[in-house]
Amino acid sequence: MIGLSAAIGLLPAVASAGPTLDKIKARGTIKVGVGTTPGFFAPGSDGRWKGFFVDFGRALAITTLGDPDKVEFTNSSPQQRLPALQAGEFDVLLSGVTVTITRAFQLGFHFGPTVFYDGQGLLVRKDLGVSQAADLDGATIGVQSGTTGELNIADFFRKSGHKFTPVTIEDTGEFINALESGRVDAITQDSSDLIGKRTQLKKPDDYVVLPERLSKEPLAPAVAGGDDRWLELVNWTVYATVQAEEWGITQANVDEFLKSDDPAIQRFLGVDPSLAQAINLDPKWAYNIVKTVGNYGEIFDRSLKPLGWERGYNRLWKDGGLLYSPPFR
């Protein structure tokens, strides 16, 4: 207690809620831009959105409004979603947006922690007999406009000296159709997107996602610049899921952990409310996130394991992955 009071004593009083949180509270819902890749985001048969990114949207609804259902998910094309975020139509994009330096500096976006480390892939018809991108010399390749994939594939072919013909498509349905109709020989996108979308093809077994990855695609929540407090809420909402996994706190055992003697866990779960009070959040916010959507590993396993995804880079740092939460103190 003395340590915490001394630490916060050095700081000015808690910052104001911030314009985005004020807007969310006044509206009573949080607006989240998403995609449509199976496993990552999809409206369920009951109309309720589900998926890996969707769960982070629900966690944010808990942080901001204390209710996982006070969130409105809207699909927006990769080309339209960044301008829409800039125009304030979304509070956050959870749509597989890659962190890039130009999006930060030129477009003025801020990124939360990477929630999925991905890489660009190629989805091709098996009967083309190709095993790597370089075999696609002379091919026609579909790219989705406004994506990093559109830029990376051009770099790849320039570097390798091979030729290709890009076919730029905005609409996701058309993008997939172009492959099925034979208008293009291959399509390129984040491998997460291709592996999910392959399952939606009429004959998925006739197609393969090549094992090669052409780029680094760290996918993170994106917010408009200029609202530091909002960015921090996004950051720490994601970190809460990672920290819970590190401590082994799950949806099923979180109530047991309320009895933990560990002071850090007591602060995290709000048994000791001093931390939440110091940062002006409901003492139960992290508890509610774990209880409702689970820790990072549970979020991953719920939506992505059924599709055959391995954790890979998306394991905790202590298990050899890249996920790491700074301290909750």
Ligand X SMILES: N[C@@H](CCC(=O)N[C@@H](CS)C(=O)NCC(=O)O)C(=O)O
Interface ranges with ligand X (CB under 6 A): 35-37, 40, 75, 78, 95-98, 144, 147-149, 172, 190, 192-193, 217, 219
CA distance 63 to 14: 17
Output the smallest distance, CB 300 to ligand X, in A: 15
Nearer to ligand X, 143 or 265 (CB): 143
CA distance 217 to 190: 7
Output the smallest distance, CB 58 to ligand X, in A: 18
Output the smallest distance, CB 35 to ligand X, in A: 3
> Which residue carries 């809460």 as its tokens?
240
Nearer to ligand X, 177 or 260 (CB): 177
Contacts of 181 by beta carbon, 8 Å cutoff, 6+ apart = none
Output the smallest distance, CB 75 to ligand X, in A: 6
CB-based burial label for 310 (10 Å; 0-12, 13-18, 19+)? exposed
Contacts of 130 by beta carbon, 8 Å cutoff, 6+ apart = 124, 136, 186, 210
Q: Kindly provide the b/e burial profile for residues 137-175, where b requires at least 16 CB atoms within 10 angstroms of the residue's own CB.
A: eebebbbbebbbbbebbeebbeeeeeebeebebeebeeb
Output the smallest distance, CB 168 to ligand X, in A: 13
Q: What are the CA-CA distances from residue 160 to residues 70, 72, 75, 153, 299 (Å)?
A: 48, 43, 35, 11, 38
Nearer to ligand X, 96 or 270 (CB): 96
Nearer to ligand X, 147 or 266 (CB): 147
Output the smallest distance, CB 52 to ligand X, in A: 10
Nearer to ligand X, 37 or 295 (CB): 37
Nearer to ligand X, 40 or 285 (CB): 40
CB-based burial label for 41 (10 Å; 0-12, 13-18, 19+)? buried
Nearer to ligand X, 19 or 146 (CB): 146
Output the smallest distance, CB 106 to ligand X, in A: 14
> Which candidate, 322, 328, 320, places its Cα nearest to that of 119?
322
Strand partners, 26: none
Output the smallest distance, CB 193 to ligand X, in A: 4
Nearer to ligand X, 42 or 269 (CB): 42
